[in-house]
Chains A and B, each alone.
Chain A
């Protein structure tokens, strides 16, 4: 159901203000150039992240600060958006992460100290009781189907990767379904691009692992703009073929540069960065409408990228990585 665009006026107005507070290159540079991780953290303390510093005791607790900030932003956006479920989609992966953790803990018989994330759309309690009682009736149908598949297949072959692959598919299926239901063509197109970029990366990884076509089929996410058959047919061939096939798609440049990087250095750093930058650029081009969902989603993505960058810098600083190595991995900012 589409919502009248005028209802977005207030939300977009606020986002315009918030956008100016996102970290620009200057501030990231200050964090990067700081002598120690503690100094970098001080730069963080001067920003909106400062509100969550009370819960962190030292520089190693930066993950708490980052996840609190993201949870806070999502909660604020859900409050001000006329379609809160659309905003919550940006945190849906957290629910799926939690579901994965709960499934694994169940099968490992492990209790306590679960590496859970703050819930996104679905309360943690519902996920937990669903997994514990093996009854998924209270959960969305996409999750129910995936969970039932997991229960069945895990009994036959206890491979933890199955849990992950089924839930990853379900995550994007659900993202697309909710976006379609909410009538947002923009979101559908965004998620399709995300799926394509992830599929390119997955294809390379599965190819390197030397797994079968059947496995690739399960690992690829359905619903993207690129046909799954394209990847399946190319599994036995050289990577040049993939570059050629993607040349006329929207990802031509990324594919050429990222896949070359993969072939030369055997690492996906380049490709992963380019993929994130592509989405950032895509959203940046669409942030102009004064009434609509686009600026909100753009900001949330920008925030996620900002957190990714901050994490890169802090982990790098704590472990004494060279500044240049961190810099080449930093994503473009949304501003």
Chain B
């Protein structure tokens, strides 16, 4: 469907400029989309690998944690873990991937004491199962942070790709054809007018010639 406009030469010129701009925009957006998808695929691969690693480690840790839980009263477990020995400070900055601002984490893990270990509990009330579970969870922590970073970036990129794709499609299948159609309509209308004027002129010429 063409756009409803006055079929004037001025309108035609305006539309032509808009069309070239739309075409240029379309090409740019298409490039952007392709690059976004390329980045996205890299991130998704990284994400998948990280997630698999982390999930494997964590499910092992959780299974052991459950067994530790089964071997001790809940109060003992809570007491064992109520005072953390590690402190994590997190700084969030932003990274620009194709004008998508993905969060970038910088973290630092510090111990509450210099010589202390990661285990905040003694050995009498706790089961040794708890040790290996805590050890794994503490090891997985930095992987988890990385995963969070990559996963968020992937999500943001996916949203941006979707948006860009919609824009590209709108330009390609709606706006550009519409404008082309309208330009054709105006050109035809103008030519029609021209032909009309020509015929009128010839007719007048005939009349004038006959009356002489």
Contact = CB atoms under 8 A, between A and B. Distances in A.
Nearest to B76: A97
Given A115-B74, A219-B123, A267 B132 contact: yes
A161 interface: yes
Contact of B121 (A164, A319, A321, A326): A164
A204 B122 CA distance: 13
Contact of A97 (B79, B85, B123): B79
B52 interface: no
Given A171-B124, A315-B66, A108 B83 contact: yes
Given A115-B82, A159-B85, A209 B119 contact: yes
A159 B76 CA distance: 18
Interface in A63-81: 63, 66-67
Given A108-B83, A115-B78, A272-B127, A161 B122 contact: yes
A63 B74 contact: yes
A43 B66 CA distance: 23
Interface in A36-86: 63, 66-67
A312 B116 CA distance: 31
A164 B124 CA distance: 9
A321 B124 CA distance: 26
B115 A157 contact: yes
A104 B79 contact: yes
A157 B73 contact: no
Given A100-B79, A115-B79, A312-B71, A205 B122 contact: no
For chain B, the bracket of interface size reads 20 to 34
Given A107-B83, A205-B128, A160 B70 contact: no
A-side interface mostly: helix
A112 interface: no
B71 A267 contact: no
Interface in A192-210: 198, 201-202, 204-206, 208-209
Contact of A104 (B83, B119, B131, B132): B83
A329 B125 contact: no
B67 interface: yes
Contacts of A316: 70
Nearest to A154: B113
Nearest to A276: B71
Nearest to B84: A160
B114 interface: yes
Select the residue from A63, A101, A172 with max chain B CB neighbours within 10 A.
A101
Interface in B126-182: 127-129, 131-132
Interface in A256-273: 266-269, 271-272
Question: Which among A104, A108, A164, A172 has the greatest number of chain B C-beta atoms within 10 A?
Answer: A164
Given A63-B74, A164-B122, A168-B122, 15 more contacts: A93-B125, A108-B82, A159-B112, A159-B120, A160-B83, A160-B120, A161-B117, A168-B123, A171-B124, A268-B127, A272-B127, A311-B73, A321-B66, A326-B70, A329-B67
Q: Which 10 A-B pairs have the closest CB atoms?
A: A164-B122, A268-B128, A160-B83, A115-B78, A315-B70, A159-B116, A202-B123, A115-B75, A159-B113, A168-B124
